[in-house]
A and B are shown apart, each in its own frame.
Chain A
Amino acid sequence: MGKSIKILTVLSAIMIFFAIYLIFAYAPMEKSMLEIQKVFYFHVSSAFIAFVAFGVNFALCIMFLIKRKPQHDILAVASAEIGLLFCTAVLLSGPIWARVSWHTWWTWEPRLTTTLVMWLMYVGYFILRAILRGETRRTFSAVLGIFAGLNVPIVYHSVNIWQAASNMHPGTNTKYDMAPTMKLTFWFTFLAFLSFYGLMLFLQYRMGESNLRYEAIRQKQLGEM
């Protein structure tokens, strides 16, 4: 393991550990939702990381189509994979929180529905990659990555776009009277997840590059035979 990876691993672990300490021992109890509100710190941070990861994938897909560098494709896939992981965490933890706060596991309100659509599109992105091979795979998945990336602002603004009566999530313009200790805990958790995202991206990129090199040698060998 490289020195930078070791440092990033230790840093991420310490930050996540400290974030959990802040969530349970430092942040005050929210008065209306009580203990279950503590899901907020991991749930919302995971959602933000998913947005960052899908945003990075979107930018890299465009860069790949312009410059045709396989490194952009490797990074795009890595970012989409981590984004899908965090989006899955959001979709799993959300209903558990909703069951206590909204008295339902799931409701077809704008934010939940658009998030599920976004998740399905990225699942489709990986199914497409599993079916195709070579340059066709890179090109087609980059195009789908761009389409899927367009979902991110839609998901974020869905609560404002569709002001349905069924809307359960607060609007993006809502002013929160959150205690400073809660704000600090939330942003620290976000940073901890961001460092974990950086670490995973770095590891995935290194592995993707090794895979590319392996395939190149293999192709060369097969050509010589």
Chain B
Amino acid sequence: MRIIIIITFIGIFGLFLIAQIPVAITSNEVDAAVTDAIAQVVNAAEEAGETKPQIDEDEATKTVQLAIEQLESEQKRRLKFLYAAYLVIWLAIMLYVLRLGRQQHNLELRLSQLEQTEPNSQEEAAE
């Protein structure tokens, strides 16, 4: 029983780690994405026969980078709370199961003590 609880506990956090790790976006990835996006906007304008838009690539990269950092820090905060909520529920269940195991052990101990005293009391009665 305890082994199953511990395996499930490890499993939970394994799944948690697999499913919930926020995807960290590197600055290189941001640069590449912004360059691609600007190129797409320029191409679309050219195809439509419009004037070529003037976009400052550095400013655009900085803005996107800042937005991503804000989103990531908010996500990390939410994940910390999510982790804490699952941890307290699981700890409550684990402590309860462990307590149940200890109670079972104590009961078995008392029963074996009773079995030992029973023949003694019978012997005493015979004497």
Contact = CB atoms under 8 A, between A and B. Distances in A.
Interface stretch (A66-74, A133-141, A152-160, A206-214): A206-214
Contacts of A207: 100, 103-104, 107
The prevalent SS among residues of B at the interface is: helix
Given A24-B15, A36-B78, A210-B111, A221 B121 contact: yes
Contact of A100 (B7, B77, B96): B77
B76 to A, nearest CB: 10
A221 B18 CA distance: 58
Interface string A201-225: 0011001001100100110010011
A39 B121 contact: no
Nearest to A193: B93
Interface residues of B, number: 38
A105 to B, nearest CB: 11
Interface in A82-101: 85, 88-89, 92-93, 96-97, 99-100
B93 A89 contact: yes
Interface in A19-45: 20-21, 24-25, 34-36, 38-39, 42-43
B19 A24 contact: yes
B12 A20 contact: yes
Contacts of A17: 8, 11-12
Contacts of B86: 39, 42, 93
B25 interface: no
B92 A100 contact: no
Interface string B90-117: 0011001100100110010011001001
Interface of B: 1, 4-5, 7-8, 11-12, 15-16, 18-20, 75, 77-79, 81-82, 84-86, 88-89, 92-93, 96-97, 100, 103-104, 107, 110-111, 114, 117-118, 121, 125
